[in-house]
Structure formats: structure tokens, C-alpha cells
Structure 1
Amino acid sequence: MEIAGSVAVVTGANRGFGRKLAEELLARGASVYAGARDPGSIDLPGVTPIALDITDPASVAAAAEAAPDATLLINNAGSWTGAGLLDGPFEDLRLEIDTHFFGTLSMIRAFAPVLAANGGGAVLNVLSVLSWISFPASGAYSAAKAAEWSLTNTLRQELAERGIRVSGLHVGYMDTDMAAGVEAPKSDPAAVAKLAIDGLAAGDYEILADDVSRTVRAGLAGGVPALYPALA
């Protein structure tokens, strides 16, 4: 995909990784609609702020009307409740699924006709290495991200005939507010944003941002013993 001259919609663009994605797109000559629940929280010069709550169908529909020239959709907005599957509150589990699965699906449903009408384009879903591997402390998030990965695989087939390429970004922990309490190596979100946009420009279906994502992906073929050696 040619990034220069493209028109991107980035969800969750007011801070963290979403802001870095918007910065990178602007630097490469794209126009950017920056979505956030509170558009007043978007302070990045050069973007067009739009009010967007991806869990609210009316808000999603309004965003699609506000960005009729879009050719690129980046589904970045996310949530992290830290809920486990056995003891986490069901409202937290529902929030994770509503955000990462239904929210992403809602955005793609709303914007697929827009992208198609503009000659096709691309969708990037910001996934996670936790869509491939799960731990008790991230049970709700991992389940939601696994569902989003499945969604990505399905819709890239359905949307190909409309000239829309659907890509997934897999990444471990990044140095953002969401991972502030995590004691583990973290990637620079600006570097990951550059890599993500490089992958979009190259037309990659899967973009693996770090060694941990590459290692886990390679381990998928090994099944439970490879991914969860304590259970072997």
C-alpha cells in the first residue's frame, strides 16, 4: 500500500501506541483521522480529531460518516482489565470481548464499504503475542485477542475481493501506560509504529514486531509442550 497520500483512521489515537501510529503516518505523508472517546484529548498537530467509542455502534457509524475518504483503518483501541477467566468479574470479561472483538468487527463492518468505495485499501488490526499464548493473569485479554486474531484471518479472505488487505500486528509488551505495571522487557512504541507502517507498505499479512512474537509464532506448531512446557 502507498502510505503517502493515503487517508487513515486510527482508533485510540490520543495516547500511547495509537499516537505513535498517527505520528508515523503523518511523517510519511498520510492524512489522519485520530479517534478517541474524548476528541479534546487529541493534541497531535496535523490530525483531524473525531469522537469515537468503538463499543458504541452509533459512535462507530458517526465516525464512518465523518471520514468518507478513508483508505486505511487501523484498529488500535484496546482495554486491559487484568481479569482472569476463573475469578475475574464477568463485566471485565465482557469489556475485553466487546472492545477487542466486537469493537474491531464493528469498525470493519462500518468502514469496509468506505474503503471499497474509495478504490480499496487496507485494515491493520493491532493484535498481541497474547493472541497466540495465554497465561492466567491475562486470561480475559488473551481470549479477546485470540478472537480478534480469528476475526482477522476470516475477514482478510472476505475483504480481499473488495480490494481491501487485512493485516495483523503481533507484538509483546510496549512501553505505554497499558503495560506500566509489567516487569518485563518492553519495546519502544515509536519503533513498533515504524515497523507496522513498513509492513503495511509492503503488503504483509502478518507483522511480527519483536523476538517474543517470532518465538511464540514458531512454537505454535509444537503445540502445548512447546508453548506451555510446565504442562508437558
Structure 2
Amino acid sequence: MSYDINNKVVLVTGANRGIGKVILEFFIEHGAAKVYAAVRNIDSVKPLVDKYGQKVVPVTVDLGDDASIYEAAKIAKDVNIVINNAGVLKLGEVLNENIIESLEFHIRINVYGLVTMAKAFAPILEMNGSGVFCQLNSVVSMKTFPDFSAYCASKAASYSITQSLKELLGKQGIRVLSIHPGPIATDMGDSAGLTEIAEPPILVAEAILEALKGDNFHVFPDSMAKQIGEAYQSFAENVVEANISEG
């Protein structure tokens, strides 16, 4: 079912740079009434406030701090679309000495942060007449790369959580999207050594908007993502998105 973002209120985590910043600008330019820029440091979105005025509302959100998420939910009571874009990435192979600490770090932000975002904002989306919850999950939720094993593991876990949210929130009339970008030209992509193959972040924003016009759960924005998505399609349709009982 098509979802029109015109005059809708959006919240984007990690909206001060990279994919999040591009999503914020793209949604405003395509009709969103207002975007909450959910960031750790609200001063970092001052340029966006200067550019878009009252259409950008800074709000403090740290995915590692549950209290900040629930406080943001008290402020953004009119939100229709939540895009959980923020996340962390550190390099490190699975046999490194600090792999356990790295796993704990990634899971705290990329997984527990997602769960708390859903718990805090699902009641608001339902109260406002359904809505959309989008999770940025990455292609590494499906294909692991050993140079950043902990990040891949956390994204696999967040993808699993997103599948649960699709079923649970769907019963409340809330649509869930699982976004799986490949290498995108951001600071995070640079730190992962993906600069030479990275594609523009606008592809992610465009893909989300296009997905909202249809019924897809999975969103594969860029070249690598589309390649993986095509190979994954049969499994996604027949297993992930199928109505299979646990019994």
C-alpha cells in the first residue's frame, strides 16, 4: 500500500551527516512537513536549521542512552515516520583480542538502540494513525566481511529484530522497512576502506521514498545491494516474508 510523505512528520536518527543528513534534506524537499533531527549533539544540526528553518527540529538522541530515546519520544509526539539510521562501525576481525568488547559496543548501539527506538516510538506511530518505521540494516546483515566482523554480527541481529518488528507492528497498522545499503560514500564508508567503490547517499533516500510507494519490506538502494537483493529475493519471499508458523 502506498504511503505518501507529503505533510508528514519524520524523525531521523544520525541526521547531522552522511545518509541521515541526505534523508532529512530529501524528505523535506519532497513534501515532509517537519523532520526531527535526532542526534547526540544538537549543535551539529544548526546548519540544517539555518537552511530549512522550523522544518528541522533538533532533538537529543544517543542510541546508547535509553533515557535520551524516551525523552525524544515525549517531544516528537506528532511523528509519522521514524527512520533509525544512526549506528556505529569499528574495524576488527573475529579473532582479534578485543572482539568481545567490540561486539558489546556494536550490539549496544546497533541492536539495543533499535529495540529501544521501536519500544519508544511504536505507541506514537499507532496513536497518530499508523505510520512507518524504517531501519538501516546494511547488506552485511546478509553477507559478512571479516574485516569488520562485530559490525556485521550486529547488523545481522538488527535485521532479525526488524523482521520481528514487521510482524508485530504490522498488527498495529505500522509499516516496517528494512533498508540494506552496500558501500555508501560517508565518513563510515571511508573508515571501512570503501571509498573507491562507494556510491552517493542520495540513492538510499530515493530508494526509501520509492519503497513507500509499494509494498516491499526489503530495500536495496545501490549497485552492490541490488546484486545481493536479486540473489536473496527467492529466500526473502519464500521464507523471511512468508507466513510460516513456529509450530
User: Normalization by structure 1: what TM-score?
Assistant: 0.91
CA contact (8 A) 1:171 1:210 kept: yes
Paired residue secondary structure (2:175)? strand
Paired residue secondary structure (2:93)? coil
- Residue of structure 2 aligned with 1:36, choices 36, 39, 56: 39
Higher mean C-alpha displacement, 13-22 vs 180-189: 180-189
Residue 221 of structure 1: how far off its partner (Å) = 8.4
Q: 1:63 maps to what in 2?
A: 72
User: How far apart, in 2, do the equivalents of 1:50 and 1:29 lie?
Assistant: 21
AA at the equivalent of 1:7: V
User: How far apart, in 2, do the equivalents of 1:111 and 1:221 lie?
Assistant: 29
Q: 1:185 maps to what in 2?
A: 197
Q: 2:63 maps to what in 1?
A: 54
Residue 85 of structure 1: how far off its partner (Å) = 2.1
Residue 191 of structure 1: how far off its partner (Å) = 2.7
Q: 1:17 maps to what in 2?
A: 19
CA contact (8 A) 2:141 2:153 kept: yes
- Residue of structure 2 aligned with 1:113, choices 114, 123, 128: 123
CA contact (8 A) 1:10 1:74 kept: yes
AA at the equivalent of 1:38: N
1:73-88 superposed matches below 5 A: 73-87=82-96
Deviant stretches of 4+, over 6 Å: none
Deviation by residue 1:69-92 (Cα, 9 ceiling, x = unmatched): 011100100101112222152322
AA at the equivalent of 1:124: C
User: Normalization by structure 2: what TM-score?
Assistant: 0.85
- Residue of structure 1 aligned with 2:9, choices 7, 14, 34: 7
CA contact (8 A) 2:80 2:131 kept: yes
CA contact (8 A) 1:165 1:203 kept: no
- Residue of structure 2 aligned with 1:148, choices 158, 177, 183: 158
Deviation by residue 1:178-201 (Cα, 9 ceiling, x = unmatched): 111325411111232122222123
Q: 1:211 to 1:117 in 2, by over 3 A?
A: same
Higher mean C-alpha displacement, 166-175 vs 196-205: 196-205
AA at the equivalent of 2:94: L
Deviation by residue 1:37-79 (Cα, 9 ceiling, x = unmatched): 0010012133101011011110000010010001110010010
1:186-225 superposed matches below 5 A: 186-220=198-232
Q: RMSD across aligned C-alpha pairs, in angstroms?
A: 1.7
For the pair 1:102 / 2:112, whether they are aligned, the reply is yes
User: How far apart, in 1, do the equivalents of 2:42 and 2:164 lie?
Assistant: 31
Any stretches of 5+ residues in structure 1 without a counterpart? Answer: 224-232
User: How far apart, in 2, do the equivalents of 1:177 and 1:59 lie?
Assistant: 24
AA at the equivalent of 1:137: D
Residue 20 of structure 1: how far off its partner (Å) = 0.1
CA contact (8 A) 2:203 2:222 kept: no
For the pair 1:135 / 2:145, whether they are aligned, the reply is yes
Paired residue secondary structure (1:137)? coil
Higher mean C-alpha displacement, 96-105 vs 209-218: 209-218
